[in-house]
Structure 1
Amino acid sequence: MNRPPIYPDPPQIIAPTTGNAEGDEVAPITAPVDPLFLAAPRVSTFHGKQPLTNASGFFFERDDRLYLVTSRHVVIDEATQHFPDRLEIELHLDASNLTRSTGFSMLLYNEGAAVWRQGKDSGGEIDVAVIELDRAALPDESVIRAFSPAHLPTSFDEVHPGESLLVVGFPLGFHDALHHLPVLRHAIIASPYGIRFQGNGYFLTDARTHRGTSGAAVVMRDSSPEAQSAALPWKLMGVHSARMDMGDRDLVLDESLGLNCAWYADILLTLTTPREGDSAA
């Protein structure tokens, strides 16, 4: 049986974005925005001052520690010779005026050692990376919404075949450049949730995805009564990473499968477990 090859979604190459020019009059935005949009910052990679790519990511919080989650191939990808040395994310500074934002830069190496965490399991390398953020270094007025272990599904039985999902990211770098917000793409679960597809630590989604979506949160609305008053009423199902296709597909006669890999989000429990020598950020 032919095994579908995996095509990691490369981060989108950075291009200039159009926002409000300095000095333009922009009315403050007072309409409430779903906190989901404030949990997913745009990620840009750099080598020194040289911009490289755009990608997606999201915030994850555990035991008062705050992390940025993205795809591992965003921070390093040997196959494409992608070796950034720092990331920059965009932070909101005012929940009622979303036009106010700032860039926050973080180095990927400390004295030559990688600062991100990545993992592997019996199926091999997992295309997820987490970087702990120094809360003291963040602007005091930062507006951040973060997922936590409480947002992870507690039972595979609660996720049904064909369940409707959303992918929260920056396809081709596209986003609301004025208000600095990601866009949502609709998806459904395309393989049994809880079963490792072909023995790997991911499940399949059926969704239209593009470059720049790497590292995006794959979420499902939490309809439980407790979630109605929650600050972030969503379940974190996975981390989008790659598109899948058949290696022997006729490029003229056959369309792309339109299937994608999403790594199970419970890997974040492993990657954010405190290690010996860790100090509170």
Structure 2
Amino acid sequence: MTTLTETTQTTGTTVATTLRAHQLVIGGRLAFVEDWGDIDATPLLALHTAGQSGVQYAHVAADLAALGYRVIVPDFPGHGRSEPAAHGPVTDLGEYAGFALTVLDQLGIDRFVAVGCSIGGKITIDLAVRAGTRIRAAVAMAAGADAGRVSVRGLTRELNDISTPSRSDRTYWGTRAVVGSAVSEERRSVIARMHCREDPIVSNSDLIGWGRHDVSAGLPDIACPTILVAGEDDLWIDAEAVRRDAASIPRGSFTFLPGIGHYPMEEMSDFASQVDAWVRTLETGDEETETTRS
């Protein structure tokens, strides 16, 4: 089942852009998907971070659509406006990768560009491994290919008392800590406050998935051009490890973002144009091994 609602939205300097909202049935549950721009434009799948939703792309989706993309922004199961998976919170990021491909299948989309951040970045790398020639180009931000640096045991234990009053404070201050130094105080506070709307059980389950998911063995088999992106102020990842992952991908490259933290799509005012530049560079085969954004 798909329901469509068409509205007209004006964001920043973009012209009026069509937004279609879909409710798809996946695994017996409703999945919410935003679908921006010309239906015949280049499909761009945008994947959100742990515990969050497609709202993280709210300030950039229309701009990407205006640059010539059909921007597909799903809420993962249990996030945003999507119902939880039938079996409960997801702790396997591979399940989200399969979910994303099902979204595209139901929308009749074959080949696509994938862009993701944090767990969405890991899932983007997973898709580059599993989807083969379906992916035209991949941009994985704030993520590496191997298991993330978290204590799975500690996160699992926290599920028992995760709804304590201090949880929202931890989310707020923890988010602020990984927003880049180039971001204004006002914007930093907005990002952190928006993140407090998470379901903590879903967030921790996502992070357990982050700590377990490892597709590094598949990097040499990735066929599509791929950029791995790391922010200078991102405390969640090891930029050197991400650089090494990029070097293991046949058409891989690495980009370093000074002054940016863990959420480039929420932190960078020129995010849409930067993604467009990355994708065009990848698709023309002119990618460099390593770049630093000035």
Q: Which TM-score band (shorter chain)?
A: under 0.3
TM-score, normalising length: structure 1: 0.28
Bigger strand share: 1
State TM-score, norm by structure 2: 0.27
Query: Greater CA radius of gyration, 1 or 2?
Result: 1
Report which structure shows greater RCO (CA 8 Å, sep ≥6).
1
